[in-house]
Amino acid sequence: MSGLIEPHGGKLVTRVLEGEVRDEALKKARKIKKIVLSDREVSDLELIAIGGFSPIEGFMTKDDYHSTMDTMSLRNGLPWTIPVTLSATKEEAGNLKENTDIALVDGKNTILGILHLEEVYSHDKEKEALEVYGTKEDAHPGVKKVYEMGEMLLGGKVSVVKRPEHDDFKEYRLDPKDTRGLFKEKGWKRVVGFQTRNPIHRAHEYIQKCALEVVDGLMIHPLVGETKEDDIPAPIRMRCYETLIENYYPKDRVCLVVFPAAMRYAGPREAVFHALIRKNYGCTHFIVGRDHAGVGKYYGTFDAHYIFDEFDPAAIGITPLFFDYTFYCKKCSGMASYKSCPHDSSEHITLSGTKVREMLKGGNTPPPEFSRPEVAGILAEAMKQR
């Protein structure tokens, strides 16, 4: 991996067992106590195993959990902003002993791995809600998930014997070691990552292409794990991304890779979290737009920009690229932002996600100044079918 940016912490973690070691671990897992993982915990397990969450090697123990909330860093001082935890009910935890192994299974009772249990400790849900999400309101989807988790947390390294199965987007499911190999093969030394859980509209396209002017390549990295019910489903979004790349992007400078994470909606903290993960995938730069990973009115428009000022850039290691609010300006006859456009807002064409959904439900296509016609067509057809 010479010439590529170092993973966070200096080493790409792998917790996937292979060969005889895997076979022995699987035999053992069939005989020991088990914990059923939620969908988000399954996603987290996969990202731990493949190095997406490097340097984390398992679900957090108490010190790392509280350090992440209190200082936005692990107990060793390395920046980290979101707890990665495994919960259990008091009853489940009461049957477990520290310094033993626990089988980890999904909702279908498939054995995925083993937790080498180091610590059982209390889940401070209220503190997590306030520190990570900035609110105790369960109307916030991230807070709601925290409140739904068990009262206890289980910490320890993991060993994965079976990756979660995915029947979708197989050609786009690249691990960090794979994307790093791809970037090296393409000769990309400066790579910008773009996080999204939405279709890419003209504003997103504009900031991606601005970023492309200063780097060698762009990795569009849509999140395809658990999201809110009213978010546009991943299969529809993927069709939009494919169509855009086919018609409007230089194919030798762009790659599409899916991100198997669950969405937290933690706003500023999740912006840093997303940047660190893309560093593990081999990106040197990361796009941070307005209200990154936000939901409702819980965060300020540019809070996700300001939070990076709280870190030593060298400790973060990946360069954030901050973009202002973007729009189509009729006077400029093109895409612009408040940083580059001198004209009154009456000349700007902007649409909220709510307005776009209303248009699509009514059978109306958003204007080309907001969305490429091909993308609007995919969304309109999907809305009709729903």
Q: Which pair of structure tokens corresponds to residue 27?
A: 């035999």
Q: Which of 197, 269, 290, 372 is catalytic?
A: 197
Longest dimension (CA), the chain: 70
In the chain, helix, strand, coil percent, each to 5?
Answer: 40, 20, 45
Asked if 198 is an active-site residue, the reply is: yes
Cα angle value 172/177/179 (rounded, 5°): 45
Q: By the 8 A CB rule, do 90 and 152 touch?
A: yes
Q: By the 8 A CB rule, do 58 and 115 touch?
A: yes
- b/e sequence 274-305, b meaning 16+ C-beta within 10 Å: bbbbbbbbbbbbbbbbbbbbbbeebbeebbbb
Looking at residue 73, the DSSP 8-state letter turns out to be: B
Q: Which pair of structure tokens corresponds to residue 30?
A: 């069939």
Asked if 247 is an active-site residue, the reply is: no
Tell me the Cα Rg of the chain.
21
Tell me whether strands 217-222 and 191-196 are parallel, antiparallel or unpaired: parallel
Q: Which pair of structure tokens corresponds to residue 57?
A: 């090697």
- b/e sequence 29-52, b meaning 16+ C-beta within 10 Å: beeeebbebbebbbbbbbbbbbbb
- Give the whole-angstrom CA distance, residue 205 versus residue 16: 36
209: left (phi > 0), else alpha (psi -120 to 50), else beta?
A: alpha
* Partners of residue 219 on adjacent β-strands: 193, 255
Task: Give the Å distances, CA to CA, from 217 to 3, 187, 193, 220, 244.
Answer: 15, 9, 9, 10, 16
Q: Which of 198, 239, 253, 357 is catalytic?
A: 198
295 CA to centre of own chain:
15
Residues assigned a catalytic role: 197-198
